Amino acid sequence: MRTTQLILASVALSALAGCASGYDWMRGHPDTAELDAAAKPALDVKVHDGEFAQIQQFVTPGGVSVWLVSEPSIPILAVQMAWKGGSAADPAGLEGLAELVTYNMNEGAGDLDSLGFTTAMEDLNMSFGCTASPEWTSCSVSSLTANAPQAMDLVATAFTAPRFDQGPFERFRREEEVGLKTRETNASYLASRATAQALYPGHPFARETSAESLAGLSTDKAREHMRTLMTKDRLIVTAVGAVTPEELAPLIDKVAAGLPETSTVSPVAPIDLSKASVTQTVVSLPQPQSLVRFIGPGIDRNHPDFFPAFVLNYTFGGGGFESRLMKTLRVEKGLTYGISTALDPNPSLLSWSGGGQTKNESAGEFIAGVKEEMTAFVVSGVTEAELSDAKAYLVGSYPLGFDSNAKIAGQMMTVRQEDLGVDYFDRRNSLIEAVTLEDVNRVSKSYLDPARYSFIVVGEPQGIKAPAPAE
Amino acid sequence: MKRSLAAGLLALFASSAFAEEAAWAPSTFELSNGMDVVVLPDTRAPVVTHMVWYKVGSSDEAPGKSGIAHLFEHVMFKQTKNIGPEEFTSIVQRSGGQLNAFTSWDYTAYFERVEKSQLGKMMELEAERMVNLIINDDPKGPFISERDVVKEERRQRIDNNPGVILQEKVLSGIWKDHPYEITVIGKMEEVAALTPKDGLDFYKQYYSPENAILVVAGDVTPEEVRTLAEQHYGVIKPTGTASTERKWKPVSPIAETQLLTHSDPKVRQPNWSRYYLGYSQRRQPEQALALDVGLEVLGGGLTSRLYQSLVEKQQLAISANSYALTTLHDEGPAVLTASPAPGISLETLETALMAEVEKVLAEGFTEAEVARARNKLAADAIYARDSQSGMANLFGGWLAIGGTAEQILAYPDDVRDVTPEEAIAAVRAVFGAGNNYIEAHLLPAEGDL
């Protein structure tokens, strides 16, 4: 392990060496000296010198594929790890299992119990945690560069010797038990559940934790499921910080060393919203405002309609005050604090959706207003000026997404997860520039017809049809 | 101050990591018309964050006019002599910019984030609305619809959320007879009665260069900022109408201990809180810092006394925290809060939590736990540098309440100087048995549980 280079590379620590009152911090790494001379495995680093980030791609000696942006100006390091496969792969009846696995990842490892592990993280001024989304299991580490070797050592123990103790497991269940109650009055949750039940009932994306599924979970099942979710073959890593590839590679390898080589996670069957029947659903919730969500079929990134739709979305509801929905429903009518729309390019659930909140008394007017605007897009499309404004913003604002280490790490992870290619950042603006008015208005006509959209309302709305019977 | 070896070492790591940034320093200067300027260099991306902070907030509002500072902030996006209705946002976004604004008790800030070549244009726009705003007084016009927007904003932020409704009541109690008493967005009935003339009066009184601070963070040199700022802002004449005296005053001790409850059918999980009067970093810098360290130890994270006792060992709570709002100009609340585990009453929770607090008050903190809290707060200052807009907010917000850039730079060292004795002394002074407090119970509707 070559921690020497990492530590000494930092000006901070060469300064420290002169004033650390005789404390030899190297004692913490007795193997350093011997390995230093021997190990200089030539790391094959491919550098993509892009306009927005210089990305260094390499495979560690242990076989992990890493994308790194070296950024020396702040002495911090952020590492993100992700595996395809998440909570949608929970076995039927064990909903919540992936969440239990990720909850446990920083709850004790090796000799350290939950308190010991958390204390060690605090002593190192680092953070480490994992989460499960429907199709991804992800972990992230933040550390001061000076403490990075020790921080990654601690993270490695979480993968090589996780404890899955009973204490954290029972705490997880207590938290989940409360969560089952509070979600019943959470407007966003109720809207998402109503959407799933109306448009893709029975699909893994419509499954959720329940008292029964929580009762079926155990620490043994979590320990076993961890070996399904986190394997070496599916691991992708991105990092940004004050390190070089040579410094980072051995740290990543230590983390990956304990992972099984491979496992099988069944892919999620894609949902086709264009085949679902359109609905208008009301979920009753006692509060002054109604939350209105609307959702229709989306477009795959590889479809020729995708970039025209992406540009059109700015004028529709993605462009803040420049969108027609904001101009009409907020600025002109004063009906809402905000309304927005977004395209979701996830191939498992392609959607084009939006939402906003308005007082219950104006819910009917709000929905009618959204539908009128959508109809106007179908009938007359957008103007040349609107298209050029949209492109100017989308292209001009792109650098704003690369002004912090955290944003760059996140952007790179998206590119890796969606397999967009290392040159995607450099190609993206020209894909937007290439969109024509004809493209946009073709997409506008075929996708923004309100008849293709389901409306889900949560609150005590007035001016729309009576609520469906409660669940 | 005595430190354990391990803790001392970590402190040195963090300290020297910050010292490595010696080359990094903000520049501050003043334009001839009294407008202050702060430049925070960050060359990682060709991007700048441009902010104008006005030294006026909801605490400056006249009686009966609550919400005008915030509603006026919305109106600033409407129209000026040289920029047509709703065009301000269009111009910024067409330039690839993102923009917004926010209002607090102490200040109002406007910002644009743009590719660096657009900085001059952003200054031109902000300078224009500093002097040439037009407030349309059509009784059915844009001022009125914006008022409706703010009412929807209030419903969305506060009235939909039982926990926030209760908190609004509690904070009014903590700040009784103080300019912070009414929440920033204002009372619904007072907002509904605000007029275009109220907006115009507010503008004329408070919006002027000598009452503003320019903050530019990003890929730009202080010299470039100075040149552009002189060109766009330097030419604006000071009005002298903003009162140099803010309405700030020390917050009075809580007159009597009270219990406030809020029951709501949307509440499915009760919550218990106690609000005491804490310190402010402006008025009591040393005590406020010691309080922040002490509350980190008491109830800041997963290793804290409250979490370990209430959540882990006794399993009476699913969360237990302590924190203080020390960043306003005047004193803010210091809070103990917990949410019960299934089947546990608020009474049982309260008894156990206060027993733990009293034990800590009696026994004090250990050296090791205070060292951990100090290092966490100091390291947070390094992690914070990753966000360009976060840094602009940090400096702008602190300078707008009269602080200095040097104080922000000194923070990591200052926080490392807090001793266990100072930390526990601050916690004892705030949560001592003789102090009044406001207790808050968030409850389900009758019969719901």
Residues A98, A237, single domain; the answer is yes
Interface test with B, best of A23, A145, A321, A322 (most B CBs within 10 A): A321
Distances (CA, A) of A41 to A8, A44, A149, A250, B413: 19, 9, 18, 10, 41
Paired with A179 in beta bridges are none
Over residues A242-292, the pLDDT tens digits come to 999 999 999 999 999 989 999 999 899 999 999 999 999 999 999 999 999
Q: What is the mean pLDDT of residues A363-391?
A: 98
Q: Is the pLDDT of residue B272 over 50?
A: yes
* Region B269-292 average pLDDT: 98
Question: What does the pLDDT look like over A61-78, one tens digit per residue?
Answer: 999 999 999 999 999 999
Instruction: Indicate the burial class of A5 (C-beta count within 10 angstroms; 0-12, 13-18, 19 or more).
Output: middle
Query: Do both A49 and A193 map to the same domain?
Result: yes
| Local structure of A280: helix, strand or coil | strand
Q: Would A464 be classed as within a structural domain?
A: no
pLDDT of B2 strictly over 80? no
The pLDDT confidence band at residue A465, using thresholds 50, 70 and 90, is low
Please tell me if residue A189 touches chain B, with a CB cutoff of 8 Å. no
Type and span of the H or E element at B286 = helix B285-299
| B133-184 pLDDT, tens digit each | 999 999 888 999 999 999 999 999 999 999 999 999 999 999 999 999 999 9
Residue B406 pLDDT more than 70? yes
Cβ-Cβ contacts under 8 Å, A327 against chain B: 86
For an interface test with B, the pick among A143, A337, A398 (most B C-beta atoms closer than 10 Å) comes out as A337
pLDDT on residue A25: 29
Q: Are strands B333-340 and B271-277 parallel, antiparallel or unpaired?
A: antiparallel
Could you tell me the two tokens for A350? 């392609």
In this structure, the answer to whether residues A54 and A36 fall within a common structural domain is: no
B84 — pLDDT class (breaks 50, 70, 90) = very high
The C-alpha atoms of residue B443 and residue A143 are separated, in whole angstroms, by 40
Q: Does A118 touch chain B (CB under 8 A)?
A: yes
The Cα B351–Cα B300 span in angstroms is 20
Q: Which pLDDT does position B366 carry in this prediction?
A: 97
pLDDT tens-digit map of B160-171 = 999 999 999 999
In DSSP notation, A84-153 reads E--GGGSPTT-TTHHHHHHHHTTS-BTTB-HHHHHHHHHHTT-EEEEEE-SSEEEEEEEEEGGGHHHHHH
Q: Which residue of B has its CA nearest to A142?
A: B383
Nearest CB to B13; choose among A73, A147, A289:
A147
Active site residue B73: yes
CA distance B223 to B213: 17
Same fold for the domain at B23-232 and the one at B258-444? yes
Name the residue in chain B with its Cα closest to that of A333. Answer: B145
Q: Which two tokens stand for residue B99?
A: 């923009």
DSSP state of A51: S
CB-based contact A232:A63 (threshold 8 Å): yes
What residues does B110 pair with on adjacent strands?
Answer: B52, B101
pLDDT: which is higher, B2 or A211:
A211
pLDDT at residue B109, rounded to an integer:
98
Alpha carbon distance A346, A417 (integer Å): 10
Contacts of A287 in chain B (CB under 8 A): 159-160, 266
Q: Is B258-444 a domain of CATH 3.30.830.10?
A: yes
Cα-Cα-Cα-Cα dihedral of A182, A216, A93, A264, to 10°? 110
Contact state of B376 with A322 under an 8 Å Cβ cutoff: no
Q: Is residue A5 scored above 50 in pLDDT?
A: no
Print the domain residue range for A22: 1-40
∠ CA A302-A303-A309, rounded to 5°: 110
Per the CB < 8 A criterion, the answer to whether A102 and A172 are in contact is no
As given in the structure block, the two tokens for residue A322 are: 């420049």
* Domain shared by A164 and A303, yes or no: no
CB A336 within 8 A of CB A358: yes
A262 inside domain = no
Q: Where are the domains of chain B?
A: 23-232, 258-444
pLDDT in tens, B19-76: 444 457 899 999 999 999 999 999 999 999 999 999 999 999 999 999 999 999 999 9
Q: For residue B441, with 0-12 CB atoms within 10 Å meaning exposed, 13-18 middle and 19 or more buried, which class applies?
A: middle
Residue A263 included in any domain: no
Share above pLDDT 90 across residues of chain B, in percent, rounded to a whole number:
91
Claim to verify: residue A225 and residue A304 sit in the same structural domain: no
Question: Does B7 have pLDDT greater than 50?
Answer: no
Of the candidates B429, B95, B176, the one whose C-alpha atom is nearest the C-alpha of residue A392 is B95
Instruction: Count CA within 13 A, CB hemisphere, residue A358.
Output: 26
- Domain B23-232 in CATH 1.10.10.10: no
Q: How far apart (Å, rounded) are the C-alpha atoms in residues B253 and B259?
A: 16
DSSP 8-state secondary structure symbol assigned to residue A300: -
Q: How far apart are CA A470 and CA B10, in angstroms?
A: 56
Nearest to A174 among B14, B77, B318 (CB): B318
Element (H, E) at A224: helix A219-229
Cβ atoms B51, B111 nearer than 8 A: yes
Looking at residue A162, the DSSP 8-state letter turns out to be B
Residue A4 in this model has a pLDDT that exceeds 70: no
Q: Provide the whole-model pTM.
A: 0.91
Number of H helices, E strands in chain B: 16, 11
Residues A310 and A404 in one domain: yes
Question: For B358-381, what is each residue's pLDDT tens digit?
Answer: 999 999 999 999 999 999 999 999
The CATH number for A160's domain is 3.30.830.10
In a domain, A266, yes or no: no
Report, as an integer, the average pLDDT of A446-471. Answer: 83
- Read off the pLDDT band of A20 (50, 70, 90): very low
Residue B238: HSE in the Cβ half-sphere, 13 Å Cα cutoff? 14
| Cα(B274)–Cα(B369) distance, integer angstroms | 24
pLDDT, residue B399, reads 98
Q: Select the residue of B12, B308, B339 nearest A115 (Cβ to Cβ).
A: B308
Which pLDDT does position B447 carry in this prediction? 56
Query: What distance in Å separates residue A348's CA from the closest CA in chain B?
Result: 31
Cα angle A287, A288, A293; round to 5: 80
Structural domain includes residue A437: yes
Contacts of B240 (CB under 8 A, 6+ apart): B208, B210
Question: What DSSP string runs through A380-434?
Answer: H---HHHHHHHHHHHHHTGGGGGSSHHHHHHHHHHHHHTT--TTHHHHHHHHHHT
CA proximity to B128, closest of B87, B67, B72, B70: B87
CA proximity to B293, closest of B361, B378, B357, B359: B378
Looking at the structure, tell me whether residues A297 and A346 fall in a common domain: yes
Residue A372 inside a domain? The answer is yes
Span A287-345, pLDDT tens digits: 999 999 999 999 999 999 999 999 999 999 999 999 999 999 999 999 999 999 999 99
Strand, coil or helix: what is A302?
coil
Task: Give me the numbers of helices (H) and strands (E) for chain A, helices first please.
Answer: 18, 12
Cα separations in angstroms, A161 against A124, A154, A256, A258: 20, 10, 12, 8
DSSP β-bridge partners for residue B440: B260, B273
Q: Are strands A65-70 and A236-241 parallel, antiparallel or unpaired?
A: parallel
With a CB-CB cutoff of 8 Å, which residues 313-352 of chain B face chain A? 315, 318, 339, 341-342
**Contact between residue A343 and residue A309 where contact means Cβ atoms under 8 Å apart:** yes
What is residue B107's predicted lDDT score, i.e. its pLDDT?
Answer: 98
**CB of B73 within 8 Å of any CB in chain A?**
no
Provide the residue type at A421 as one letter.
G
The closest alpha carbon to B307, from B345, B281, B338, B270, belongs to B338
> If you ran DSSP here, which 8-state letter would residue A464 be given?
S
Q: Alpha-carbon distance B159 to A190, whole Å?
A: 18
Is residue B259 a contact partner of residue B439, using CB atoms and an 8 Å limit? yes
The amino acid sitting at B371 is A
Q: How many structural domains are present in chain A? A: 3
Together in a domain, A249 and A328: no
Lowest mean pLDDT among A20-29, A389-398, B33-42, B196-205: A20-29
Asked, for residue A386, whether it belongs to a domain, the answer is yes
Would you tell me how many other CB atoms lie within 10 Å of the CB of residue B223? 10
Contact B13 A359 (CB under 8 A): no
Token digits for B321? 């925290």
Q: Is residue A467 part of a domain?
A: no
